[in-house]
Structure 1
Amino acid sequence: MARHLNKNDIEKIINIIVLWESNQITWDGICEAVEPLIGKKPTRQSLNMNKDIVEAYHNRKKGIRATDNAIRKPANLKIAAARIANLEKQIYHLEEQNKNFKEQFVKWQYNAYKFGVSENQLNSDLPTIERK
């Protein structure tokens, strides 16, 4: 019987994907890279069942395509240190924003359950706008 991925395993897998340094990222490569961390080689299908892992994979794939491994090299260490500081501030801001979005989603999820809103109602398409 297959071992399910727990929250800790999922975080480790996402971390591997985010820090992926190769020019090409594949599901098989991810499976092999996470095997020593989680104690078992997961299948592509088990990774593909988790939305957070799939999102991290697609974002990393887009990032690889967008940068084409063109690493900007600063002129000196002072500029590099300033850039690192700015990026760390941006990361902190985005992590806080993401945390707030997740908290808001949990509130909405609870209220939808509380007031009997079905998943189909929540996932229904937006109405089309008729423009002249």
Structure 2
Amino acid sequence: MVRRGKNLTDDAIEQIVRLLDGWEGKLTWEALIDAIVTRLHCRYTRQALHKHERIRTAYALRKKSLGRQKDTAVSRGSGPLADAMARIARLEAENQRLEAENQRLLEQFVVWAYNAHTRGLNKEFLSQPLPRVNRGQTETSKLAKTTTGKR
């Protein structure tokens, strides 16, 4: 039984973009959704997948790449050479996707840097380390005293 997809986590998104990196054959949203059901055992809608920038970009890049590969298709056959060619194609697709993601992050950084500058925030202020997280356990008896006023 296929259940409704829970909210997409970073791990699920990573698995989906890796699935797209190695995609062979015709790529459609329906085919991708079926492959995700097989891999993640959850069904997501095209709209839910399209809402995530990494998935949308990976899909578009892979679709474009597959269109170019179709024009220059070479019979791959089987054996070690075919396996190596498939691995190279997957790694090239992954590299192309990562370059696009990196470019998008660099553009986002430029926007943040500009907005910080317009607010008068300098590099030293922005580079301050995060505050330490106190992971100590609270004492339940002290907590109960302060919240209920009893004991």
The TM-score with structure 2 as length reference comes to 0.52
Structure 2 counterpart of 1:110 = 112
Structure 1 counterpart of 2:39 = 37
**Where does the alignment leave 5 or more consecutive residues of structure 1 unmatched?**
118-132
Q: CA deviation at 1:59?
A: 1.5
Task: State how 1:1-132 maps to structure 2 within 5 Å.
Answer: 3-22=6-25, 24-68=26-70, 70-71=73-74, 101=103, 104-105=106-107, 107-116=109-118
Considering Cα pairs closer than 8 Å and 6+ residues apart, tell me whether 1 or 2 has the greater RCO. Answer: 2
Change (3 A) 1:56 1:100: closer
- Give me the CA root mean square deviation: 3.7
Q: Deviations over 1:92-123 (max 9, x none)?
A: 98788668646644542432331348xxxxxx
Change (3 A) 1:46 1:72: same
Q: Deviations over 1:38-97 (max 9, x none)?
A: 331111100111122111111111122212161376xxx9xx6xx97xx69x96987886
Which 4+ residue blocks in structure 1 deviate beyond 4 angstroms?
90-103
Aligned partners of 2:58, 2:5: CA distance in 1, in Å? Answer: 23
**Where does the alignment leave 5 or more consecutive residues of structure 2 unmatched?**
120-151
Instruction: Check conservation: 2:54, 2:101, Cα contact below 8 A.
Output: no
The TM-score with structure 1 as length reference comes to 0.58
Larger-gyration structure (1/2): 2
Aligned partners of 1:44, 1:34: CA distance in 2, in Å? Answer: 11
Aligned partners of 1:59, 1:112: CA distance in 2, in Å? Answer: 29
Q: Output the amino acid matched with 2:74.
A: I
Q: CA deviation at 1:34?
A: 1.1
Q: Output the amino acid matched with 1:62.
A: K
Aligned partners of 1:54, 1:106: CA distance in 2, in Å? Answer: 17
Structure 1 counterpart of 2:144 = none
Q: Deviations over 1:10-37 (max 9, x none)?
A: 1111111111112x11101111101233
